[in-house]
Amino acid sequence: MITFPDISFYQDNDGTPQGIDFVQMATQTKAVIIRAGQSFWLDQDFIANWQGAKAAGLMRGSYWFYDSRTSPKRQAELWRALIGNDKPECGLWLDFEESYGGSYGSDRHMKEFADLVVGKFPNVKVGVYTGYYWWLTRVTWRTRSYWKRFPLWIAAYPRNPTDGTYKPRVPAPFSNWLYWQYTDSGDGKAYGVESSRIDLNKFNGTWQDFSSTGHFGA
């Protein structure tokens, strides 16, 4: 399996003049997923990270942390404006994991957000990031079949991340995972970030698979 990180402004130390060293990151991986924002807040380092990763030759994806306190339409519009015409090579990921209890927290609103993002980004792959138990408690039978069309990026942290026998659980209606976030304790320094730890993910295939199939598997 190939490994790549996901990052946000948490990987940059505001007390130093430098940001993430993407040249160093490129010595460890060929791809990175970059946080764009949450609610009506834009990740303060997104533009620098988006441009820096591209300059270093990394394939990029973007995720948006869905926030139930802000309308799906507003969040989709902000994401679209932020990405502009510099489209991601590794797709867009709808990050569903919040627990704020806002007015837009139902699976119906989640579906609305997904529809809006797909509509605003024609010809761009869109996937879902979530955790097994979170998904089961928040997505009901009313919308469950709708999500079959999306690839899954599952978050599951085994006690021993190097245990090759561990397999993350996959919630319905997904049949398998495409990306797996298996730790939040990766070696930040090795990947050129200023935080000591970094999220790491696996893709179930080779770099050749990753590139030739649009980074979303066959």
Residue 166 maps to a domain: yes
Whole-angstrom Cα distance, residue 215 to residue 218? 9
Q: Where are the alpha helices (DSSP H) in the chain?
A: 22-25, 46-55, 72-83, 107-120, 132-138, 207-212
Assign residue 67 the CATH number of its domain: 3.20.20.80
Q: How far is CA 23 from the centre of its chain?
A: 21
Residue 29 maps to a domain: yes
Residue 50 maps to a domain: yes
Q: What is the pLDDT along the chain (218 residues), one digit of tens a residue?
A: 689 999 999 999 888 999 999 999 999 999 999 999 999 999 999 999 999 999 999 999 999 999 999 999 999 999 999 999 999 999 999 999 999 999 999 999 999 999 999 999 998 999 999 999 999 999 999 999 999 999 999 999 998 877 778 899 999 999 999 999 999 999 999 999 999 999 999 987 777 777 665 455 43
Whole domain around residue 33: which residue ranges? Answer: 2-212
Question: Structure pTM?
Answer: 0.94
User: What is the structure's pLDDT at 213?
Assistant: 53
Q: How far is CA 31 from the centre of its chain?
A: 12
Residue 188 maps to a domain: yes
Using a 10 angstrom Cβ sphere, with 0-12 exposed, 13-18 middle and 19 or more buried, the burial of residue 77 is: middle
Residue 26 maps to a domain: yes
Residue 218 maps to a domain: no
Q: What is the DSSP letter of 43?
A: P
Residue 217 maps to a domain: no
User: What is the structure's pLDDT at 138?
Assistant: 96
Residue 95 maps to a domain: yes
91: number of Cβ within 10 Å:
24
What total of structural domains would you count in the chain?
1
Whole-angstrom Cα distance, residue 79 to residue 196? 28
User: What is the structure's pLDDT at 217?
Assistant: 42
User: What is the structure's pLDDT at 211?
Assistant: 65
